Each structure stands twice: as C-alpha cells, then as structure tokens.
Chain A
Amino acid sequence: MRQTRSKNIGITIYILLLLTPVYWLLNMSFKTSREILGGLTLWPQNFTFDNYTVIFTDPSWYNGYLNSMAYVSINVVITLLVALPAAYAFSRYKFLGDKHLFFWLLSNRMAPPAVFLLPFFQLYSSIGLFDTHIAVALAHCLFNVPLAVWILEGFMKGVPREYDEMAYIDGYSFPRFFIKVFLPMIRSGIGVTAFFAFMFSWVELLLARTLTSVDAQPIGAIMTRTIGASGIDWGVLAAAGVLTIIPGLLVIWFVRNHVAKGFALGRV
C-alpha cells in the first residue's frame, strides 16, 4: 500500500511540475499587458478576456487556426489512406526488401530540415502548390506516414489471419473484406494513428511556414510575425498559445483509452 502512495505522490509532483509552465501561459493570457510587464503576479489581478477577444475578432488571427486545421485534417486523411494498405502488406506478407524499406521510411525523419527547406520550397513552387493547404499536408506526410505504418502494423498483427481466409472463403473480394471486415476490427488503431498524425502535423512549424505565405499560413507563423511588429503583446501571444493546445486536448480525449495500446504492439 505504501508503494502505491509513494507512486501517487511521485506522479503528482511530476504532473504539477509539468503543468507549471502551462499554467504560467494561461495566467498571462488573462492579464493585461500592463500587468504582465509591471511585475510578477501569481494569478491575474485584473482578470480580462481582451486577449482572447482580439484573436476571435481579427481574421488574420483566427484564419491561422483555420489554416492549421485545414492542412492537419488533409494530412491525417492522406496519411491514413496510404498507410492502411501498406501496413496491411507489412503485417501479412514477406516481400522483396521489406525490412530495408521500413528502415528507409524511418530514416526520412532524420533528414536535417533546415537545409531541406529550400529544395522543398522550390519543389512545391515548381508544381504550383506553394501557399496551399495541400502542399503542407503532403510535406508533413514525410514524417507522419512512416509512423502511421508502424503503429497500424502493430494493430493489424493482432488480428489473426484466419479472418482474412474465412472472408475469402465466404466470397468477399479483397477491397470489400478490407473495408467491411478488417477496418472495423482495428478501429482503435486507426484512432491512435490519427491522433499521432494530428499531433506531429499540428506542432510542426518549419515546413509549414516555409511552404506558405498568406493564404495557408499556420497559426504558429502568425504568432512569430506578431513578435516582429511594434513590440511584443505578451497577453495576446499567450492567449494564442493557449488556444493552440486545445485542439490537441480534444483529440487525445477521444483516443485516451487506446493510446496505451498503440505502441506496445508495434514492430521493431
């Protein structure tokens, strides 16, 4: 019993430390600029929603959120569409170069983004996709697809092959079996994959910023732009920061019961 209690105390302390910086951001987002710069206060003395009002009424602010949402959603859809069949192939078949292919996919995460930015910019400009949501979504597939294949494969391995064979005997064609029988069985895996794809696409900024200028600019880029102009409005910046956390929280809430399963099953 004592064991559990010390564990509980340990995890509570860890979570408190983890949340302190986030609290500080939240705290600041409810303060006026004068109070922020005036000195240290542990909670807002003049509680205000002004910072949030600025964001929700100024199109150049809230469009950033809409843009980010747009390319993240497109990315999640593309990622799932291509990763599902591939993960099925990895989980069911041996084929020429399968192990190397997997390591190659993973190795794309290792490319230093800094110098690859310019080629990326040139590539997407030359095919006329610059400053569109689809460009960012495609670019983010570079790191999301390998991860999705890996997580999904783990879940698919958990489905015995007898199901495939039985469906085949019952006269199901492969696409029909895959959509009607197989996908429902790995629902939770799809949820977890969608969460991770969402997360990594949402937090990435370097590629997203390089591939956009006005029409598809992500919220992160808008925040850095604001730093440049006429000093820093810390309050608005903090409010914008708080709002970037919320979509992620919503998504993880839906998959909370499946996340733990996600990685344990994966291949190495």
Chain B
Amino acid sequence: MNKISDNRAWWLVLPVFLLVAFSALIPLMTVVNYSVQDIFGPGQAYYVGTEWFKEVLTDQRLRDSLIRQFAFSGAVLAIQIPLGIGVALMMPKSGVKGSLCLILVAIPLLIPWNVVGTIWQIFARGDIGLFGWAINQMGMDYNYTGDTLDAWLTVLLMDVWHWTPLVALLCYSGLRAIPEAFYQAAEIDRASKWAVFRYIQLPRLKSVLIIAVLLRFMDSFMIYIEPFVLTGGGPGSSTTFLSQTLTTMAIGQFDLGRAAAFSLIYFLIVLLISWLFFTAITHADKEK
C-alpha cells in the first residue's frame, strides 16, 4: 500500500512516544549519570569521568560473563530457530487439532519466569524430579547443582523448552500466510519436499524469522530469573550470565558506577548487533 506523506501523523504516535520515553529515557539518563560517578551512599557521589568505563573494559569477571553470555545466546539461537521451524512445519494446518496444538505448544510461554525456574529446579533433581531421576537411571552421572557442564546443559534445555514455542508460533503464523496457489504450482512442477521448503516456505518465513531471531537474541542476552532460580548462577560462576553479574554488582555490592558503565556498554553491544542484523536484512531486500 502506498502511504501518504503527512507529518501530522506524529500526533497519533505522540502518546506512544511520550509513554515509552517516560519509562525508557529517564531511567537511561539515570544510568548514564551513575556511570560517571563514584557513589558511596545518598548524597555522597563524586564525579569520576570515564574511569569506570576504562576499568570495566579490563575487568576479567565481566569479560568472562560476557563470553559465557555469547556462548549461551549462540547456542540458544542455533537450537531454537531450526527446532521452531521444524515444529511449525509439523503442526496441523487447521481445524480442532490445529487449535489444540497451538494452545498446547503455547503453554510454556504462559508460565511466569520464576515458575519456569521452579519447575525445572524440581524436574531436574536427581531424587524427586522425573528428568534427573530418569537420567540417573540410565546410568549417567547427572547433578545440576554440582557439575558445571550439567548445570549449563540444564539451563540451556530449560531455555529451549521455554522459548522454542515462541519461534514455532511465529513460524506457524508465517506458514499459514502462504497462499495455497504456491503449493499447487509446486505440485505441478513436481517440486521435491525440500525444494518446496527451500524455495517457497523459507523465503516466505523470512519476515517472521527476523523477528524471531531478534527477540530470541535480545531476550536470551538478558536472561536472569530462570537461571537465578534454577542454579543461582552456580556451581561456581558457570551459569552466572551478564544480568546476574550486573545485578550482584549494582544491588548486592552497591557498586553502582561500575555496574552502570557496564550495562551501558552491554546495551550498546546488543543494540549494535541487532541494528547490524536489521539493516543487513533490509538492505539485502532492497537489492533484490
């Protein structure tokens, strides 16, 4: 649809703009303010300039949690996106069965995040949890509170369980939007299943996949509550992701300046990656 150019449309956007600006810009400015000061308590703050930023860039603990974070987000995307597409392809197209599948698949999304953590905390326990018990029965030594690798895999599995449904729902809605004529044409051409997927379904899924990748990247990058409830960041600091390091720093140790400086850097990293991804995709579109 060709749109009319009219700057008066801003009046319609204004409420959204004001509301989001109120909740976003004021806290952001406060964080910027923290990041250039050394704060000891109420009324005791000293301007330190860019010192926190310099310190943060060389901080080993933060660098470690950043690396863990990238590994985690990468693993999350690598598993959830293909799995979500697969699930969406398998879901019945319509009818009662379709609706039923939709509702059942959506269940993990409707559970508050701390409850998700609680569910897995119990479910993965070796003594009273079905999952932990089953793994132990199979003769594998599994203990997510003691073993680093087990803890990591449990957090990953929990995230896959929790969020693959979102990718699946997005892809499902993308698939439903493909006109039947496309499939009929493919049938006449005797296209293989793979060709139908590669040349009809995948290109048509692109727009929802972009959103799915963006949402999953952003949300997995700031995952906090679920691993916090499940493992508390342990054992050691193996599942302490960025948000948790920052929260401990800001609230636990009241090291506001440093935490603020790092969250700004962290915000910029996420923003940069998302923006690069976003523009790369839209540019590729224009060239076609």
Contacts and interface: CB of A to CB of B under 8 A. Distances in A.
Q: Do A and B originate from a single complex?
A: yes
Interface string A112-152: 11111111101100000000000000110110011001000
A25 B210 CA distance: 34
Contact of A40 (B34, B111, B127, B225): B127
Interface stretch (A45-53, A55-63, A93-101, A181-189): A93-101
B9 A92 contact: yes
Contact of A115 (B31, B108, B206, B271): B31
Contacts of B90: 7-8, 10-11, 14
A252 B130 CA distance: 28
Nearest to A242: B115
Contacts of A123: 26-27, 30
Nearest to B91: A11
Given A110-B274, A141-B23, A142-B23, A95 B6 contact: yes
Given A92-B3, A94-B3, A244-B115, A264 B177 contact: yes
B161 A204 contact: no
A29 to B, nearest CB: 11
B72 to A, nearest CB: 14
A172 interface: no
B207 A268 contact: yes
A203 B113 contact: yes
B7 A95 contact: yes
A241 B192 CA distance: 46
Nearest to A107: B271
B16 A111 contact: no
B30 A122 contact: yes
Contact of B13 (A8, A89, A263): A89
B280 interface: no
Q: Output the residue of B3, B110, B246, B274 with the most chain A CB within 10 A.
A: B110
A229 interface: no
Interface string B123-136: 10001111101000
A241 B111 contact: yes
A86 B170 contact: no
Contact of A266 (B34, B128, B207, B221): B207
| Size bin of chain A's contact surface | 35 or more
B130 A119 contact: no
Nearest to B170: A263
Contacts of A264: 173-174, 176-177, 207-208
Nearest to B120: A21
A7 B9 CA distance: 47
Interface stretch (B50-58, B99-107, B138-146): B99-107
Classify chain B's interface size. 35 or more
B190 to A, nearest CB: 15
Contact of A93 (B9, B99, B123, B259): B9
B70 to A, nearest CB: 15
Given A114-B246, A257-B99, A95 B122 contact: no
A245 B119 CA distance: 12
B165 interface: yes
B2 to A, nearest CB: 9
A71 interface: no
A96 B222 contact: no
Residue of B4, B9, B91, B177 with highest tally of chain A CB at under 10 A: B9
18 contacts: A8-B90, A11-B87, A42-B130, A81-B15, A91-B3, A95-B6, A110-B267, A110-B271, A112-B222, A112-B270, A114-B246, A116-B27, A117-B247, A119-B27, A203-B111, A205-B112, A263-B211, A264-B208
Given A11-B101, A95-B9, A204-B112, 20 more contacts: A18-B105, A20-B123, A37-B128, A86-B13, A94-B5, A95-B5, A95-B10, A95-B13, A110-B267, A114-B263, A115-B262, A116-B31, A141-B20, A145-B20, A205-B113, A220-B114, A224-B114, A241-B118, A256-B103, A263-B211
Interface of A: 3, 7-8, 10-11, 14-15, 18-22, 24-25, 28, 36-37, 39-40, 42, 78, 81-83, 85-86, 88-96, 98, 101, 103, 105-120, 122-123, 138-139, 141-142, 145-146, 149, 157, 160-161, 199, 202-206, 219-220, 223-224, 234, 237-238, 240-241, 244-245, 247-249, 252-253, 256-257, 259-266, 268
